Structures are given as C-alpha cells and as structure tokens.
A and B are shown apart, each in its own frame.
Chain A
Amino acid sequence: MAYVDSAKSIPLSRATSLFRGKTTFLLGSLFLSCFIILAIGGEAFAPNPPNQIDLLHRLSAPSLTYPLGTDHLGRCILSRLMTGTALSLGTALTTAGLILAIALPVGLLSALCKGWVDAVLMRIADIFLAFPMLVFALAIIGYLGASLTSAVIGVALAWWPGLARLVRTLTLEAASKEYVLASRQCGQKPLNIIAKHILPQILPPLLVVLSLEMAGLLLVLSSLSFLGLGAQPPAAEWGAMLNEARPFFAERPSVVLAPGIVIILAVLSFNLVGEGIRFQLDKRKPYRW
C-alpha cells in the first residue's frame, strides 16, 4: 500500500489506460472492419478484374490504372489484394471455427467427465502436441494433397490440442465455482449447467485467445500458401501472391512488399482487437469496501 500521489498519477494513469484499452481496441476494430468490408465487397471495389492479365505492363510501377503496380503477369496488385481478403480471412476464420469445434467438446468432455475419459482425451492431445505443429500440418497436407481445403484441415488438426487443454483448464476452474455446485444442488441438468453457467464463464477468455490465435493462423496459412501447399494459382490469396512474387523481389520490391504489409496489418488488427477485448474483460474492480 503506497501513498499514491493522486494529483500527478491520475492523468498519467488515465492516459495509459485510455491508450491500452479504448485506443488499441478502436484502432484494431477500424482495421478489422476495413478488412471485413473488403472481404464482403472486395471485387466490387477493385479497380481492375483480379485475374486480368496485361503482359504489356508487367511489373509496372504504381500508376493511376494500377495504384499498387502490377505483378509478373501484369495483374493489378491492389485488385488482387482486395479480392484476396475474402479468401485469406475466410480460410483463417474457417480454420479457427474448425479448431473451436474440435477443442471445445474435447476440453469440456475431459474436464466434466474426469476419470478415464479425461485421461484418454488428454493423452491423445499430448500425442498431437508432441509433433512440431507445422511439421504435423505438412504431413496431413501431404497425405490429403496440396489444396486450400487440406491446408485448413491440416492446420486445424495440428492446432486443436493446445486450445483443448486451455478449454479443459478453464472448464475445471469454472465447474468448481460455488454457484455451479449450487445450481447442481438445485437440480439443474448437466447440459443446462454447461449452457447457462459454464460456457458464459469460459467463452470470453476463449474468444480473446482465439482472436490472438487468428493472427497466428493467418500467418501459418499464408506461409503454407507461400510454400505452395495452400491456395493454388491463379487464386488471389495473400500468401500465394507472396509466393508467386518471390522471384521478382529484386526487380520490383513492391510486388512482395504489398501482400507482406497487408498480412502484417491483418495480423496486427487481430492482435489489437484481441488485446482490446482482453483489456475490456479484465476489469478488476477498482476498489473494494
């Protein structure tokens, strides 16, 4: 307990809390909503058709017709980036959804059933965790054949155990709360207890973690596309664009930089939103009587 010099520390702490809480969240949401708008109407906003080849203007500098220049086939980079938003973010979201769909039931089951169910499920998760994540994803993609669908499945299968462990831990803590026991005492059925008392407790922290993982997923999916294992040409996907542009980096750096920066921005916006949500939810009571 320190003597807080209230006259000085208040404006400062207010400024930092504003910056940490609202500003990051607003900034992140602003970026993210831009991306969402692009994902919905990307093709309509795009100045040129994304796959229109203009061999006369290969690797051209930014101009009025091609605001970010063109790639090695003379396709408008900006248009491709805009059109690619839906695919890039869509795959990341699908993967996140798939991960949640595996991790949530597994985590809940093992935390609530305990005993051998818990042991079996968690050992399976451990086996999955024992492999390096990317190597495991690569193995699955290798088995399924290189395509965007197999990239999504591969990443989801490699990614769920970590989240399932988190769900299990959160559920264990949530289920031992006195009010959950009290509700069981009042005769509430297990499914109702999960829906009414456990999910509301574990979903907020889970969504925060997931929004932070989204950034990671986006990167991994882009890297897979970059390696040629995800989206296949001529699909406009950010990672795939990066991959295709690789040989022309020396000739015209913007070909590589543009999709790179967009990926960074998307990752950043997910991180900012995640951080913002975490800060908003992590509201400790400022004082207690």
Chain B
Amino acid sequence: MTIEARHLSIAYGSNQVLSEVSLTLHPSRTTGLVGRSGCGKSTLAKAMTGIIPAPQETLFHNHQIFFPDLSKTGDIIHYMWQDPLAALSPFLSALDLICEPLKAIHKLPKAERQRKARDLLHMVGLEDACAAKRPHQLSGGQCQRIALARALAVKPKFLVLDEPLSALDLVTQEQITALLRKVRAEMNMGLLIISHDLQTLAKLADDIAVMEGGRIVEHKETQEFFATPEHPLSRRFVEISKYSAPAA
C-alpha cells in the first residue's frame, strides 16, 4: 500500500513551484524531505494531502488515481501544520480537539472517546491538567504534542509533518524528536517529515529526499546519503550539519 506522486507539477501564474516531482511513500517507512526555504517542500506535502488541489492523474493510492479530498481522505493521508497554534482551534479544549476525529471518523461513543483521548494525551507526554486548557493557554511544545495526539487519533495510514520542530526551542525539539521516534516504533504508519535540519532527520528518517527549485534532486537511503551525498546542495547540507556539531 503506497501513496505516490507521479510527475506532479504546480504553478502559480508564471511561478513554477513544483515541476515533475515524483515521490512514493511506503507504509511504516519514514521519508525525510530536505530543502532550503521556498524550494516547494510544503507545496508538495500540501498537494499530496489535499490541502491544495493537485492536478488530475498525478496522485496514486495503491496505484489507483487518488483524489485527496480533505474531509474524506484525512484518515488515509494526513497533514500536520508547521505552526501548531494556528492549526488548533482556539475555541476548543485540548481534550475536545483530540475527541473531534475520534467522533467524526471513528464514531466512538462519548465515554470511550474521552478515555481514548486521555490515553493519547498521556502517550504524547501531557498531564491531565492540560486536557481542559485551550491552545493559547499552552506552550508551543505542548500545542505540538496536542496536534500530534490529534493526528494519532485520526490514525491515518500516512502522516505528513511539515517542519514539526522549527517553531520550538531546542529542549522541546529534542523531546518531540524522541516522541516521534516512539510513535514511529509503535504505530504502523508511513511518515513524511519535512525539515531543513538534517540532524533531526538523521535520527528519524529511513530515506532522505533533497529538493531544490521545485524538483527532487537526490533521494537515497539515510546511511548512504550521509556517506555519499552527490548533489552540490546535499553536500552543503551534510557539511553544515557537521559544522554545527561540537568540535570534540
């Protein structure tokens, strides 16, 4: 079972954001997507999840043409926004936010829904005290955990995380990375993680794709990528990720 983008091109006016991008996501495999800002990483992710419409006959689910319609295919491929605060409704409490997909997709009765939501809260490392709070009363890291718990409540076959760490401070980044590793190990879910930070991807991804100017310029197994980066941009990324490592 796969989700596949074949020769996906998207343009806004004369601005070609994606040109002929092909990318396949496999179940229980984590793909990392690296690139400089504005290279089209987010656009690719949004097109594959149906947040923005993709041209016809470019997306395939199990080799069948796939029309990602947000309200119907959220449990197949699910997108998680970069800014967790903006992607969580300010009118709902943390618990209600997690209950929403449990009710709408899994049709669980109320008591079971609440129990499941609490389990998920614990799983992402939040205390019960957070359950009644609304997003703006929580820190960025806590919001990111709630967004993750919500995505896990949907239990999609593929989860796309757009820069899940870049809005967070270093300590929280490390905690969320650990959490993502745990999720990857426990849930049978295909992940696409967008980042510009190779150090995080090295910890999470099975394979890494590099994007530049709306194209995927290199796509390799993580180990191989770090050993022999070919494209100049890949080499630059690997070089910098080593540079910021301590001298010792």
Contacts and interface: CB of A to CB of B under 8 A. Distances in A.
Contacts of A182: 81, 87-89, 147, 150
Nearest to A192: B104
Interface string B14-28: 000000000000000
B51 interface: yes
A196 B91 contact: yes
Interface stretch (B68-76, B184-192, B193-201): B68-76
A38 B149 CA distance: 53
A247 interface: no
Interface of A: 177-190, 192, 196-197, 200
A168 to B, nearest CB: 21
Nearest to B86: A178
A188 B100 contact: yes
B154 interface: yes
A232 B83 CA distance: 60
Give the 8 A-B residue pairs with the shortest CB-CB distance, closest first.
Answer: A186-B101, A187-B104, A185-B74, A187-B105, A179-B89, A184-B70, A178-B87, A178-B86
Interface in B52-79: 70-72, 74-75, 78-79
Interface residues of B, number: 26
A189 B51 CA distance: 16
A178 B83 contact: yes
B167 interface: no
B92 interface: yes
13 contacts: A178-B86, A181-B70, A182-B81, A182-B150, A183-B89, A184-B70, A185-B70, A185-B154, A186-B105, A186-B153, A187-B101, A188-B104, A200-B91
Contacts of A180: 89
A195 B105 CA distance: 18
Nearest to A185: B74
B96 to A, nearest CB: 9
Contact of B92 (A184, A187, A190, A196): A196
A184 B81 contact: no
Contacts of A179: 86-90
Contacts of A178: 81, 83, 86-87
Contact of A184 (B74, B75, B147): B74
A38 to B, nearest CB: 36
Contacts of B90: 179
B87 A186 contact: no
Given A177-B86, A179-B86, A182-B81, A197 B74 contact: no
Given A179-B86, A184-B71, A190-B71, 8 more contacts: A182-B81, A184-B74, A185-B51, A185-B70, A186-B154, A187-B75, A187-B104, A192-B104
A196 B92 CA distance: 9
A182 to B, nearest CB: 5
Interface in B142-183: 147, 150, 153-154
B147 to A, nearest CB: 8
A187 B101 CA distance: 6
Contacts of A197: 89, 91
Nearest to A285: B136
A155 B92 CA distance: 38
Contacts of B150: 182, 186
B142 to A, nearest CB: 15
A140 to B, nearest CB: 39
A187 B74 CA distance: 7
B173 to A, nearest CB: 17
A180 B87 CA distance: 8
Contacts of A184: 70-71, 74
